Amino acid sequence: MNVNYKKALNEVSQIINLMSEEDQKRISTSFMNFIEKNKSTFNDIDIIPNKKLEDQNISEEAKAIIYLIVHNFLKNND
């Protein structure tokens, strides 16, 4: 897997850890396992919890993965 995607998965993992337990449980176990198995362990980032995602200092790849998580797992499908 590409190093940039491994870094992005690490960023995503750190963001997920800041989510409520309820939201974390809505993300599929297989997807979470994929993230944890493939993430880099060498880049720590500073996430500011109350700052908008687009204003965080994270990669565009991480932002795209978070968008997919929101769209596929967290968005209410009324």
Q: Which residues contact 39 (CB under 8 A, 6 or more apart)?
A: 6, 9, 10, 12, 13
Check whether 77 has a pLDDT greater than 80.
no
- Using CA atoms, how far apart are residues 34 and 39, in angstroms rounded to an integer? 8
pTM value? Answer: 0.87
- Using CA atoms, how far apart are residues 54 and 10, in angstroms rounded to an integer? 17
pLDDT in tens, 43-69: 778 888 888 888 888 999 999 999 999
Q: Please, which pLDDT band fits residue 26 given cuts at 50, 70 and 90?
A: very high
